[in-house]
Structure 1
Amino acid sequence: MISRKILLLLITVVSTVFGSVGCSLERNFEVEAKVPASVMRTQTKRANVPYVPTPQRVVEAMLELAQVNSNDVIYDLGSGDGRIPITAVQKYNARRAVGVEINPRLVQESRTNAQKIGVSDRVEFKQQDLFQTDLGDATVVTLYLLPNVNLRLRPKLLKELKPGTRIVSHSFDMGNWKPQQVVRIRGRTLYLWVVPEQIPTNLTS
């Protein structure tokens, strides 16, 4: 039979544990309540596209597939540590490159990498939701996202990009928009599209 003293001790421990959990949950809900809805939505979008670095040889293959040259302005959507924009200006002499990344830590890492290599005068990194980015001056767009994100992004690309703009996606296609070229390198698949003069209506929805 449990003594009165032990029983009281058990009740005290249980009350303390549940009280602490309750306080912790209340604090978490208070923090969430102060976060703007737009930020919560953005964080959710980012969570749907985990950061997986592209191997450097695949980075170069993407830029070669797009035939990047000194006239090009590159936009890398979901730019991670900045390796695609940095390589575009360093090795392929792109006129300018822009990385768009929602994660502030990766944006800072990218800026540091560009400074170390000495290309920060031609590379810009934006902490931004890629769906809110103005792509109007891009001549090349690179992607390593997910199939559903590519499909959601497709109407924006076709609306904002000029005819002749090249789009290269690592690993994932864009549904019924047939790529002009498909390249396989080291077990990876790369897709190339060129924005047409006349855009089929079935691709804009």
Structure 2
Amino acid sequence: MILGVLVIILVSLVIVALCISFYITIFGGGPFVPTPMKAVEKVLKHANIKKGNKLYDIGAGDGRFLHIAEKVYGAKATGFEMDPFVYTFARIRQIFFGWKGKMVRANFLKHDISDAKIVVCYMLPKTLAKFQKKFDKELKKGTRVVSYAFHIGDWKPKKIIPKRGKISKIFIYEI
């Protein structure tokens, strides 16, 4: 009897968790799709990060951009992730790998990012078009925005790194 109740509770929790993730995927910025590590390294290399630069990762997922930006380049990295389950996974990775970057479980549209030197993102085009308005409003001249795989709205990229093998195009913009 008790085992049956526990199974029902567990199944109910899993269903609720899946519904929350599905809702965030549909109405947030898109599904969690981890960027391949080779692509993370290439994106950050082309972001031209200097030690101490403030870097934001929009839709930070498991935090891999933050970890590498901090560890390799000395960036002060902050990531925004809305999905509570992906966010929790990122925090566990953060503890395990010992990186200090800041993970924020929130919609970045409600946060000030005007101190950014670099913004990285891997989002769907429709979501990037929404983000463009915030970028135009808050980012200062000289800020670099690096988008993996997708073009941002009507912006003209300063540079496009072509697709090579399993690594998609990288679009580099400068405000």
> How far 1:44 sits from its partner (Å)?
4.2
Check if 1:186 corresponds to 2:156.
no
3-state SS, counterpart of residue 169 of structure 2: strand
Matching residue of 2:84: 104
> How far 1:108 sits from its partner (Å)?
1.6
Q: Is the 8 A contact 1:182 1:191 kept in 2?
A: yes
3-state SS, counterpart of residue 151 of structure 1: helix
Matching residue of 2:10: none
More deviation in 75-84 or 134-143?
Answer: 134-143
Separation in structure 1 between the aligned mates of residue 50 and residue 30 of structure 2, nearest angstrom:
29
TM-score, length of structure 1 as denominator length: 0.70
Structure 2 matches for 1:1-205, cutoff 5 A? Answer: 44-46=26-28, 49-94=30-75, 96-120=76-100, 123-184=101-162, 185-187=164-166, 188-195=168-175
Superposed CA deviations along residues 82-103 of structure 1, whole A, max 9, x for unmatched, are 0001110011111x10010001
Letter in 2 for 1:90: K
Identity %: 32
Separation in structure 1 between the aligned mates of residue 113 and residue 91 of structure 2, nearest angstrom:
20
Q: Which has the higher contact order (CA 8 A, sep 6+)?
A: 2
> How far 1:105 sits from its partner (Å)?
1.5
Q: Which runs of 4+ in 1 moved over 3 A?
A: 41-44
Number of residues paired by the alignment? 154
Q: Is the 8 A contact 1:79 1:100 kept in 2?
A: yes
Larger Rg over CA atoms: 1
> How far 1:169 sits from its partner (Å)?
0.3
Q: Is the 8 A contact 2:132 2:153 kept in 1?
A: no
5+ residue gaps, structure 2, are 1-15, 17-22
Q: Is the 8 A contact 1:42 1:129 kept in 2?
A: no
Superposed CA deviations along residues 59-106 of structure 1, whole A, max 9, x for unmatched, are 011111111120311100001100001110011111x10010001111
Q: Is the 8 A contact 1:79 1:101 kept in 2?
A: yes
5+ residue gaps, structure 1, are 1-30, 32-40, 196-205
Separation in structure 2 between the aligned mates of residue 170 and residue 43 of structure 1, nearest angstrom:
18
Separation in structure 2 between the aligned mates of residue 186 and residue 101 of structure 1, nearest angstrom:
28
Letter in 2 for 1:57: K
